[in-house]
Amino acid sequence: MKKNTTRFYKIDLKNHPSAYELQELIKEFLRPSDFYILNGQFANRESSEDGPENSEMVLLEIPDREMGRDDAKRYLFNLLRDLTGYAPKWGTLTGVRPAKLVNEQMYLKGKSEEEVRALFRDSYYVSEEKIDLVMETCRVQSPVTAEPAGNTVGVYIGIPFCPTRCLYCSFTSNQKDYSEVKRYLAALHREIDAVGTRLTGLGVLPESIYFGGGTPTTPEAPDLDALLARTESRFDLSGLKEYCVEAGRPDTITADRLRVLRKHPVTRISINPQSMNDETLERIGRTHRSADIREAFALTKREAPDLLVNSDIIAGLPGEDRAMFRQTLESLLELGPDNITVHTLAVKRASRLREMDAEYNYGRTDEVGLMVGDARRMLAEAGYRPYYMYRQKHMTGNYENVSYAKPGTESIYNIRIMDEHQTIAALGAGGISKAYHGAENRLVRVPNVSNYDIYIQRIGEMIERKEQKLYVPFE
Ligand code: SF4
């Protein structure tokens, strides 16, 4: 991001119907404090109309509000690129699912790869580097995305507790006494009973089950055992292809919990270092160190050697330069997980990082770009291929999150959740179910409350909400 501290931009979007998306595009070029939207429903509140003292005022406007959304985006992109000297690599695309866009063009509209490449280049101004990435991702995931989902669902079960809260976290993650975890699990069992029984009665089969969080290995071994057993007894697992417990925090991966996972038909876990640098781990609020990550890998190899392992890392963590990020990748490659997911640090709303520096994501565009480029090269050399990706708001440099997999170890759940052509039944606090109506290619959201205590108190209502909307596509 080329920041020019002497300029302040006043931008007239003329109440355009796509003003929100246009503003998201503007944020890829300009810090929120460096511009002000005139006549816009979504005027940013991070700046005043007059800008800072002594700033040079630049007035911009779109030609008229009748201009189509994509034309208006291209118009603004060209204007801001010329003024700032900066061109975002994803061009005018502000959505979170570039791979879904490719899949829709190819599978629903029958376009060839060349036609889609031309669309991305000429209409969305996406760089060749990112076109290559998204096309390869779609090729790798195509055996899964091409399959009809039929009467299947993905099941997500959330455990909203973690040992500590990470600096960048905006998830439902609580740090509570174990008695609260027990209360939560009792309510969750009720929801598992209701949803599992109902889907089984409708003849609906989970294709994948994903325990996420939070940290799903927060429950102690006997409670984890009971939770998995309850799930397996209520859902019909005859069509199950994948069963993931995203352990995540290495400090919760213990021999007794691994033995529980092995006892059940679990197929994959995550061991998430985020960084292999101890100072960074301390800085971002993790209680484990790189030695604990190595120990978690060794323990997994010993206690549950058949489990596939994913590992998450983050490019752009505070205090980390390109060399440190490469070191993390090298150390992780030595440990040899089946998947490595490379996130770009995002400054999310509810995070401590945002409180400390709301514009952190604007500072390190070039360096983080080199980091994600290094990851792509190093992982390709080691035999990993990109298989799913998404973008988020407020990401450093507006890059992307990409998961790389050794061939044959791609996660079905992750591909499906990004492709949005299958119903997701999401249980637990913060779970957002999505009922997929195939005939209209439409999703209906059915959210649970995110506060775990309110979830416990209103568990009956969470079950009833699903009754109203979740099962409709199967009835
Ligand atoms: S492990 Fe994940 S969910 Fe838990 S605090 Fe860290 S970022 Fe949040």
214 lines ligand 1 (CB under 6 A): yes
247 lines ligand 1 (CB under 6 A): no
Q: Identify whether residues 316 and 355 lie together within a single domain.
A: yes
Query: Taking 60 as the threshold, does the pLDDT of residue 303 lie above it?
Result: yes
For 123-167, the pLDDT digits (tens) are 999 999 999 999 999 999 998 887 666 899 999 999 999 999 999
Q: Write down the pLDDT at residue 55.
A: 78
Q: Is residue 199 part of a domain?
A: yes
Q: Identify whether residues 64 and 178 lie together within a single domain.
A: no
94 lines ligand 1 (CB under 6 A): no
For 11-26, the pLDDT digits (tens) are 999 889 999 899 999 9
As a whole number of angstroms, the distance between CA 79 and CA 367 comes to 25
Give the distance (Å) from ligand 1 centre to CA of residue 229.
Answer: 25
For residue 162, the domain's CATH number is 3.80.30.20
Q: Identify whether residues 271 and 303 lie together within a single domain.
A: yes
Among 27-31, 356-360, 430-434, which stretch is predicted with the lowest mean pLDDT? Answer: 356-360
Q: Write down the pLDDT at residue 109.
A: 87
For 312-337, the pLDDT digits (tens) are 999 999 999 999 999 999 999 999 99
Q: Is residue 92 part of a domain?
A: no
Range list of β-strands (E), 262-406 = 268-271, 308-315, 339-344, 385-390, 401-405
Within 10 A of 145 (CB to CB), how many other CB atoms are there? 20
- Averaged pLDDT, 62-85: 94
Q: Identify whether residues 289 and 397 lie together within a single domain.
A: yes
Query: Taking 60 as the threshold, does the pLDDT of residue 249 lie above it?
Result: yes
Q: Identify whether residues 247 and 325 lie together within a single domain.
A: yes
Q: Identify whether residues 123 and 191 lie together within a single domain.
A: no
For 254-265, the pLDDT digits (tens) are 999 999 999 999
Q: Identify whether residues 169 and 227 lie together within a single domain.
A: yes
User: Percent helix, strand, coil in the chain (nearest 5)?
Assistant: 45, 20, 35
Q: Write down the pLDDT at residue 349.
A: 81
Q: Is residue 461 part of a domain?
A: no
Q: Is residue 184 part of a domain?
A: yes
Among 166-180, 186-200, 203-217, 351-365, which stretch is predicted with the lowest mean pLDDT? Answer: 351-365
Q: Which residue has the higher pLDDT, 143 or 457?
A: 457
Nearest to 106 by CA among 132, 139, 148, 57: 139
Among 6-20, 218-232, 367-381, which stretch is predicted with the lowest mean pLDDT? Answer: 6-20
As a whole number of angstroms, the distance between CA 203 and CA 423 comes to 14
Q: Is residue 322 part of a domain?
A: yes
Q: Identify whether residues 190 and 124 lie together within a single domain.
A: no
Q: What is the number of structural domains in the chain? A: 3
Query: Taking 80 as the threshold, does the pLDDT of residue 62 lie above it?
Result: yes
Query: Taking 60 as the threshold, does the pLDDT of residue 378 lie above it?
Result: yes
Q: Is residue 432 part of a domain?
A: no
For 304-314, the pLDDT digits (tens) are 999 999 999 99
Query: Taking 90 as the threshold, does the pLDDT of residue 365 lie above it?
Result: no
β-partners of residue 405 are 339, 385
Give the distance (Å) from ligand 1 centre to CA of residue 351.
Answer: 10
Query: Taking 90 as the threshold, does the pLDDT of residue 208 lie above it?
Result: yes
Tell the residue nearest (CA) to atom 5 of ligand 1: 165
Q: Identify whether residues 276 and 385 lie together within a single domain.
A: yes
As a whole number of angstroms, the distance between CA 475 and CA 470 comes to 10
Q: Write down the pLDDT at residue 132.
A: 97
Domain stop point among 72, 107, 141 = 141
- Averaged pLDDT, 36-57: 70
Q: Write down the pLDDT at residue 171.
A: 83
Q: Identify whether residues 113 and 175 lie together within a single domain.
A: no
Decide: helix, strand or coil at residue 209.
strand
Give the distance (Å) from ligand 1 centre to CA of residue 23.
Answer: 29
171 lines ligand 1 (CB under 6 A): yes
Q: Write down the pLDDT at residue 2.
A: 47
Q: Identify whether residues 113 and 75 lie together within a single domain.
A: no
Q: Identify whether residues 78 and 192 lie together within a single domain.
A: no
- Averaged pLDDT, 214-241: 97
Q: Is residue 473 part of a domain?
A: no
Average pLDDT, the chain: 93
Q: Is residue 289 part of a domain?
A: yes
The answer to whether 304 and 273 are in contact (CB under 8 A) is no
Q: Write down the pLDDT at residue 356.
A: 85
415: containing domain: 152-426
pLDDT grade for 393, boundaries at 50, 70 and 90? confident
Q: Write down the pLDDT at residue 396.
A: 87
215 lines ligand 1 (CB under 6 A): yes
> Which of 159, 164, 173, 310 should be mutated for ligand 1, with most atoms under 8 A from CB?
173
